[in-house]
Structure 1
């Protein structure tokens, strides 16, 4: 009876009801869309980082610190026999790093040479392009960011200068064999990939590596001698911290939007109680307890949110579906920031996120409707019948 009465009352309120429903519906769809963008960004960024860089964990030389360029030249050591067996089984692949300088068109660019096995299949780096051919040229692959910086194209020659493990400088031309497109800047900006054997020969670091990339099938999940194991939580920690920061921002934004939307519901319920005093007195006179009347008005306020969610599914589903297909187009240059973003961000709608938004709106609507209604339970029955509730 309370539910039927509540529905009749809110539908009978006319434009006031539909204004409240429209505001709540807009906020709900906006919350789903924004959270979808965050979830889509994280899914794309984490997937891209796994495929191009982090894989399923790494083993670092104890001297390797990617944030300390001054120790990078010494961040290498011989590969132990245990890891050589894993390399043969193709469950891990070694990567060797060396600082260098590239010269192209009269410009000089500090770079990081990365040596990788052309036959590896763990990372999406097009390493097969690095295989030696009859020309004997040193082949290299670079990302789009690096290609734009160097103004280089496939087939171009590039002069690089490096220093071997004993400190002696040398220089040689390399050939750009391929340019790949990746959202992960750590393997693109300032990076040039060449064959592992070529880099070892150039730097006189035979049988050495800087770190290993682990495949999903690898059983290595701990330190091996002086090699330090880094899991994906550590390698992707920057992305997770960015997500937490964005979540905090979204909470602030939607707290303001929900406050505005729920304020309209609060005002509606307060005005409704003021204007319907005789109706309240009649309910009580007919045997309905004040607490049941309070529940009736609370249910009315909650019904606004439930109706708003139903309306949201009607008009929001096609809008959100279209948004998922077209994505949010990003201005030119955003992809260069290296945050795992492409030319557009495509939302991913998580059922848990949608359910959380529904529960949040319904619970807050219930609470904000109960606050002005609770005075009914304390009112005098005679005064209520006369329409004199203060």
Structure 2
């Protein structure tokens, strides 16, 4: 207890130097929590949006289909069995028929993907009900509309091949433009009634993908099941890379704070020789004296956490409620990155606790390194001020 009292007294007697060290450490603490909270919030939003708009609780692919290989689309379809039709009727899955096509907006040529889907499905957020009762109608995302320079009620010529390889074309009407943060759903796709697409291509009762809303459903006939861990792997990889970049920035801020503590401790051991010699001469063990100096350094981190909490809490609350706007930055969707215009950070207890532990442990280690020299000090020489 005496060691703690002496450590706190010496720390506060240092005045401005103490608070400068504390402030720099608090910046490292706040930046660590803020950046990782933003990345965690982005991760949660991206996962929720992808599940709501694209994958639900998993997908079933036709054998041989590869979402990264457009050459597999042509042959990646199969006739729906009675079992699959029953699952569709029970709203456990919804079918998707994929067909490559070419759009001609204002005389330009653009490769697109026709996605035929059930207009009565309610597994995904796609507003397919807008297609009901309309002939030669398609939906597109706002990003796709921007790319093709189209707006609602515009007409778009589209050419495709039917199941026999014969070219056909028709003029579609853009009946609705939806907003979506998932680029794989927004960009490069036109959405239409699956029955209309089957009629145009001659692919009666066929589908390329089944989207499931039942996480317990993992096997259907010859369909290949893809769980959400597989379907979200790309997003996780991007977010992990972003998080690594944030660690570099935080590391340098933390390094500055720890260097300040290390320098302060080295100077304290040299400047307070007589005080150290007096402690030892009065019967205090060398390890006890070392602990006093170590506690002084570690206390900087505790004060930094408290100071960071004081000015960081209002900041975190503000961003949690209002989010961080990305609207003025690069178009993330066009780069294939799932990100909303506004990211709402997520600050978990685990994140804050781990940040505090990191600051305290690293400060304690840095404080101990110069303080351990005290164990070799001769008290007589220390009192005389002759220790070099």
Normalising by structure 1, report the TM-score: 0.95
Alignment of 1:284-299 (within 5 A): 284-299=280-295
1:316 equivalent in structure 2 = 312
Q: CA deviation at 1:40?
A: 1.4
Greater alpha carbon shift after TM alignment, 317-326 vs 267-276? 317-326
Q: CA deviation at 1:81?
A: 1.9
1:238 to 215, 234, 257: 234
Distance 1:40 1:218 in 2: 24
2:163 to 156, 162, 165: 165
Q: CA deviation at 1:102?
A: 1.4
1:142 equivalent in structure 2 = 140
Distance 1:218 1:343 in 2: 29
Per-residue CA distance 1:271-299 (angstroms, 9 max, x = gap): 01111111111111222111000001000
2:372 equivalent in structure 1 = 374
Is the 1:334–1:341 Cα contact (8 Å) retained in structure 2? no
Is the 1:79–1:207 Cα contact (8 Å) retained in structure 2? yes
Look up the SS of the partner of 2:218 in the other structure: coil
Distance 2:239 2:224 in 1: 27
Per-residue CA distance 1:305-358 (angstroms, 9 max, x = gap): 101111111111112222333433323542332311222333221221111111
2:217 equivalent in structure 1 = 220
Is the 1:7–1:300 Cα contact (8 Å) retained in structure 2? yes
1:268 to 261, 264, 269: 264
Is the 1:327–1:346 Cα contact (8 Å) retained in structure 2? yes
Q: CA deviation at 1:382?
A: 2.2
2:383 equivalent in structure 1 = 385
Q: Are residue 341 (structure 1) and residue 342 (structure 2) matched?
A: no
2:115 equivalent in structure 1 = 114
Look up the SS of the partner of 1:96 in the other structure: strand
Per-residue CA distance 1:167-220 (angstroms, 9 max, x = gap): 1111112221211101101011110000010111111111110011010x3531
Is the 2:301–2:363 Cα contact (8 Å) retained in structure 1? yes
Look up the SS of the partner of 2:255 in the other structure: helix
Distance 2:68 2:304 in 1: 50
Distance 1:250 1:360 in 2: 15
Alignment of 1:244-263 (within 5 A): 244-263=240-259
Is the 2:24–2:253 Cα contact (8 Å) retained in structure 1? no
Distance 2:377 2:129 in 1: 82
Look up the SS of the partner of 2:70 in the other structure: coil
2:277 equivalent in structure 1 = 281
Distance 2:338 2:176 in 1: 21
Look up the SS of the partner of 1:121 in the other structure: coil
1:207 equivalent in structure 2 = 205
Distance 1:218 1:46 in 2: 15
1:355 to 353, 356, 368: 353
Distance 1:180 1:259 in 2: 47
Is the 1:112–1:192 Cα contact (8 Å) retained in structure 2? yes
Q: Are residue 327 (structure 1) and residue 323 (structure 2) matched?
A: yes
Q: Are residue 21 (structure 1) and residue 9 (structure 2) matched?
A: no
Is the 2:60–2:225 Cα contact (8 Å) retained in structure 1? yes
Is the 2:60–2:224 Cα contact (8 Å) retained in structure 1? yes
Distance 2:286 2:385 in 1: 14
Distance 1:247 1:107 in 2: 40
2:64 equivalent in structure 1 = 63
Alignment of 1:75-114 (within 5 A): 75-114=76-115
Greater alpha carbon shift after TM alignment, 47-56 vs 150-159? 150-159
User: Post-superposition, which runs of at least 4 consecutive aligned residues in structure 1 deviate over 6 A?
Assistant: none
Distance 1:218 1:379 in 2: 67
Look up the SS of the partner of 2:87 in the other structure: helix
Q: CA deviation at 1:80?
A: 2.0
Provide the alpha-carbon RMSD of the alignment: 1.4
Distance 1:326 1:261 in 2: 31
Q: How many residue pairs were aligned?
A: 385
Q: Are residue 174 (structure 1) and residue 172 (structure 2) matched?
A: yes
Distance 1:254 1:219 in 2: 41
Normalising by structure 2, report the TM-score: 0.96
Distance 1:218 1:36 in 2: 28
Distance 1:326 1:334 in 2: 20
Greater alpha carbon shift after TM alignment, 268-277 vs 344-353? 344-353
Is the 2:27–2:253 Cα contact (8 Å) retained in structure 1? no
Is the 1:63–1:76 Cα contact (8 Å) retained in structure 2? no
Look up the SS of the partner of 1:70 in the other structure: helix
Look up the SS of the partner of 1:388 in the other structure: coil
